[in-house]
Amino acid sequence: MTAQSASGQLVLVVDFGAQYGQLIARRVRDLGVYSEIVPCDMPAEEMSALVPAAIILSGGPASVYAEDAPSIDPGVLDLGVPVLGFCYGQQIMAKTLGGTVSHTDKGEYGAAPLERLDGACGSAQVPESMLFAGTPCEQTVWMSHRDAVSQVPEGFVVTSRTDVCPVASMECSERRLYATQFHPEVRHTPYGDQMLSNFLFEICGLERTWTMDSIIEDSVAAIREQVGESRVILGLSGGVDSSVVAALCAKAIGDQLTCVFVNHGLLRQDEPEEVEEVFTKQFDVDFVHVHAEDRYAGLLAGVTDPEAKRRIIGEQFWKEFFAVAEDLAEDGRPVQYLAQGTIYPDIIESGARKTGGKASTIKSHHNLIPFPDGVHFDLIEPLDHFFKDEVRALGTALGLPDHIVHRQPFPGPGLAIRIIGEVTPEKLTMLKGADAIVREELDAYNEAQFEERGERPVWQYFAVLPDVKSVGVMGDERTYQRPIILRAVESSDAMTADWAKLPCELLGRVSSRIVAEVPGINRVAYDITSKPPATIEWE
Ligand code: XMP
């Protein structure tokens, strides 16, 4: 199924390499309309085949006149679909339609006072702009540019200006083409949401159909239609994504579903027991616990390369699922489908398997590794167009308990990608011990903050075991042992993250406890890097 089918309306965000591309799609979804990102070199015909209800051209870092500047198929502006361009999007619209873009004397970065020039603000020549409806004649917008449109294309009017930028926005309302030099998608443009709403609901005539209830209803219907009478196994990790898929599938196909939990021995302390407890006691689903710890330990022995570890773990997952499917099929009902909790950022960062985009492979997410020889399933991935916080909202709407919905993300390859270098039983024991302390202390901190401020500030937190040793002194004795690195980040969707500004007392307590309670560790460091340039996990 596509997420579009869940809402019937699709807004395409055409990506010119924008810093804010994801943000535009999120803002549109937050307004209740489904939105997806597509690469800027997608031909108009292909875009048209997706039946978009509206198109938004993102910003981008290049100058439209640079040699390899991204451009757009001019046919996109002739599809009869309303188009809204931001920043580079305005410039590319102007250039493509015969206007002119020039360097401004000085760039314009940050908040800028804007003056509307349309009929609602006294102009006799320019009609009232629907894009600006309900916003003041003088307002603040967020700018980030050096080039700007100097002459608008034929049929366009200028609807606003700033001191630096004579064409802060332009439009041709007959063709429903609109553009702004500023960024309505950032919070620093106070009326940005109003403008986006005006575009989606007044200009394009869309409706707020991207609601949790409609998504559940349509997802359940889509799963039923895809699966028919077939049998499905579900790769369950106990995390929020696969639990939400379990709840959706259970609602859709009931006893055609078997949930399979592969225990690779790389889970956190006490986790396998907790997962088994939840899915045998709290959920009424068919549950299989596969003990694959020894097989994984054998396969990972001697392996140090991060991508090699990911590949081995991912491939073995498929094999384990396939073995379960073959066992189940002995009763004469074969398993055709594998359902899993792949979400949108997994796909983007694994190299755009389905988006057709140009994203490079940052990490091969475990569930996007190709099937090994002899293994095949048809896949059901009902969450492959969702961001993490949307999955959580879906979980709540499906009635999942809070402790699952707010569980912090945990990667499929588990602690193997938090042990730098070879995974050994000794290192696993050290990391599990340290991680349990990190979780205990930060769970308590997050919950206390939730009580006080209504939000859990730290999004993900864990321990990493690097492949180095350092000298220390304990009880007058020299030690030569491993450090633990504490990673704690704030994020909403894992696409970007900032390191958490934890109180010093908390950091101190975590450090003292780890060194005192975990044999083999003599030092604790705190990772203070955001994503980008780092990633959340170390491998
Ligand atoms: P990075 O390290 O890429 O992680 O910034 C982003 C988010 O994804 C999680 N992650 C994974 N999740 N399978 C998963 O299910 C994987 O292979 C995987 N790798 C990273 C990571 O924990 C973070 O929340």
- Residues 421, 423, 426, 432, Cα dihedral to 10°: 100
> How far, in Å, are 40, 343, 507 from residue 359 at the CA level?
12, 16, 36
Instruction: Return the pLDDT at 532.
Output: 83
345 Cα–ligand 1 center, Å? 9
Full-model pTM? 0.76
Nearest Cα to Cα of residue 210 among 53, 430, 43, 407: 53
User: Nearest to residue 33, comparing CAs of 16, 15, 17, 52?
Assistant: 52
- For ligand 1, say whether the CB of 432 is within 6 Å of any of its atoms: no
Give tens-digit pLDDT for 461-471.
999 999 999 99
Is any ligand 1 atom within 6 A of the Cβ of residue 280? no
Question: Which atom of ligand 1 is found nearest the CA of 237?
Answer: 15
Q: Does residue 73's CB lie within 6 angstroms of at least one atom of ligand 1?
A: no
Alpha carbon separation from 39 to 14, 15, 42, 179, 237 (Å, rounded): 6, 5, 6, 19, 32
Q: Is the CB of 388 under 6 A from ligand 1?
A: no
d(CA 365, ligand 1 centre) in Å: 7
- Identity of the residue numbered 518: V
Report the residue among 346, 388, 418 best suited for mutation to probe ligand 1: largest number of ligand atoms under 8 A from its CB: 346
185 is an active site residue: yes
**Local confidence band at 490 (pLDDT 50, 70, 90 cut-offs):** very high
**Confidence class for position 272, pLDDT limits 50, 70, 90:** very high
Q: What is the DSSP letter of 408?
A: P
Residue 282 confidence class, pLDDT cut points 50, 70, 90 = confident
Q: How far is the C-alpha of 21 from the C-alpha of 1, rounded, in Å?
A: 24
Of 348, 351, 352, 353, the closest CA to residue 361 belongs to 351
Which residues partner with 109 through β-bridges? 144
Specify the pLDDT at position 359: 52
pLDDT at 437 over 70: yes
Instruction: Give, to the nearest 10 degrees, the angle between helix 388-397 and helix 240-253.
Output: 40
Report which ligand 1 atom has the smallest distance to the Cα of 460: 24
Residue 341 has pLDDT above 60, yes or no: yes
Question: With a 6 A CB cut-off, is 537 part of the ligand 1 pocket?
Answer: yes
Q: Is 183 a catalytic residue?
A: yes
What spacing in Å lies between the alpha carbon of 247 and ligand 1's midpoint? 22
**Is there a contact between 538 and 477 (Cβ–Cβ < 8 Å)?**
no
E strands in 428-511: 460-464, 470-474, 477-490, 498-499
Where residue 388 falls among pLDDT bands split at 50, 70, 90?
confident
Mean pLDDT score across all residues of the chain: 92
CB atoms within 10 A of CB 84: 29
What are the tokens at 306? 């991060």
Given this model, what pLDDT does residue 360 score? Answer: 60
For the Cβ of 482 lying below 6 angstroms from any atom of ligand 1, the answer is no
Task: Map residue 431 onto helix, strand or coil.
Answer: helix
> Cα(480) to centroid of ligand 1, in Å?
31
Burial of 66 (0-12, 13-18, 19+ CB in 10 A): exposed
pLDDT at 253: 95
CB 32 near ligand 1, within 6 Å: no
Q: Which of 171, 185, 349, 390 is catalytic?
A: 185
User: Which atom of ligand 1 lies closest to the CA of 241?
Assistant: 15
CA atoms within 13 A on the CB side of 519: 2
Pocket of ligand 1 contains residue 494 by CB under 6 Å: yes
Nearest to 50 by CA among 60, 28, 66, 35: 35
CA–CA distances in Å: residue 406 to residues 388, 443, 454 = 11, 11, 13
How do residues 220-247 score in pLDDT, each as one tens digit? 999 999 999 999 999 998 889 999 999 9
Q: Does ligand 1 lie within 6 Å of residue 384's CB atom?
A: no
Q: Binning pLDDT at 50, 70 and 90, where does residue 369 land?
A: confident
> 502 pLDDT exceeds 90?
yes
Cα–Cα dist 495/498, whole Å: 11
pLDDT value, residue 350? 66
CA-310 nearest atom, ligand 1:
17
CA of 366 relative to ligand 1 center, distance in Å: 9
The best mutation among 363, 392, 438 to test binding of ligand 1, ranked by most ligand atoms within 8 Å of the C-beta, falls on 363
Residue 143, pLDDT above cutoff 80: yes
Query: Catalytic: which of 87, 121, 249, 259?
Result: 87
Say whether pLDDT at 93 is over 70: yes
CB 81 within 8 A of CB 53: yes
Give residue 358's pLDDT: 47
